[in-house]
Structures are given as C-alpha cells and as structure tokens.
Amino acid sequence: MIGFIFECGPQGADKHVCEYLASQLRPGVKLISRTMDNKLKLLAGAASVAKSLLDEGCERVLIVWDLRPAWPDKKEKPCRAAERQTLLDALTKAGLQGQPVYLVCVEQELESWLLADETKLSAYLSTDSRAYSAPRTRRPDDVVNPKSRVMKYFKEARGLRYEDYVHAVKVVKTGTVNPQRLRQSKSFARFEDKLSC
C-alpha cells in the first residue's frame, strides 16, 4: 500500500494523474491519497498526515507538490530547497526521520510531465479530421510556465480551453504509459523511483 499527500483538493489534477501513473507503474498496489488543498497547508501538515498513513499500513508515503502551483500561496519566488527543508524538519519533529516518506517536488508544475511525452498530447489533441503534432520538449522541467504552453497547444489544436482537473488525466490516459519519455522530466523520474525504491 502506497500513501500519497498532495497540495491539491480531492478532485485535483495532481492527485488523479499521480494515482493513474502509480497504478500503471505498480499494477495491483493499493493507493491511499490525502489532499491538503494548497501548498501552505501541505508544508504545515504533511508530517502528521504521513504518520497517519504509515500507521494505517502504508509501505511508503510520497509527499507530492508543485514548485509553482497554479494558485501560489505567497508572492515571493518559490524555493524547492527551502520547502524541502521545511518538510524534512517537520518529519524529524514528528519522529519520522529514516521512515519511508519521500518528497517529490514537481518542477515547475504538473504540466511539465505532459510536455515530457508529446506523443500523448498529440494523440489527445488530434481528431479524425485533423492531426496535431505537439512540439517535442527536451527539458520539460526547465519550461518556466508549462501550463501556459499546454494551454497554447489546446487552443491551437482544437480551440479548447485547457482545464487541468479535466484534461491532464485524460492526456495521461491516452495510449500506454511510456516511462522512458516521461523520464525527460527529472521530477517524474524521482516520482517513479520513489514508488518502489
């Protein structure tokens, strides 16, 4: 059993995409997710939620958050190192140092993973009457605003407004999961590694 803690709400894109990918990468494993609504609440409360998930029998817990969430909590520039340290300090205070609790900061946001496999974006955005070819993004974690890039592709291809909570999991479910392509995102590679390390 794997536990997840997300910064989004119960219907958030991060939750649905990560659960789907985990089910494909670790078939048959039971998944339990807890959502914290935003990054501030995740940073403040993830340690106690992780302890509860371990107490419920999870073999490991992944705390997953976006470096640049769609609804930032602060006006200052986000810092992965500072956020990581906040979580590590909270885990230590909760007596979870050395326990199988892993931190996965998605850089920059979930759409980085969508950009990592342009074949899925292309397949989802193509129609019977018009094929669409999303450009390849070699370093998706370096794209400063991946959500706006995905929005641009949706508009170009089908005149659609991209809504992460609706479309992200549909894109990921298009075709089979190709971990090799997704590993172009280092944060996805960390997510994959922590599912079974």
Residue 28 belongs to domain with CATH number: 3.40.50
93 with 190, same domain: the answer is yes
pLDDT for the residue numbered 80 = 82
Contact 25, 18 (CB under 8 A): no
115 with 35, same domain: the answer is no
Number of domains composing the chain: 2
Strands laid side by side in the 60-66 sheet: 31-35, 2-6, 60-66, 101-106
Q: Record the pTM.
A: 0.91
38 with 7, same domain: the answer is yes
Closest CA to 60 of 102, 24, 89: 102
pLDDT for the residue numbered 118 = 95
145 with 187, same domain: the answer is no
pLDDT for the residue numbered 149 = 96
- CA torsion angle 35 185 84 29 (round to 10): 50
106 with 119, same domain: the answer is no
Q: Residue 167 is part of which domain span?
A: 111-172
103 with 125, same domain: the answer is no
pLDDT for the residue numbered 81 = 86
pLDDT for the residue numbered 108 = 87
83 with 68, same domain: the answer is yes
pLDDT for the residue numbered 183 = 95
pLDDT for the residue numbered 71 = 54
Tokens of 5: 């803690």
What is the mean pLDDT for each group of 10 consecutive residues in the chain (197 residues)? Answer: 96 96 96 95 96 97 86 65 92 94 94 96 94 94 93 95 96 93 95 91
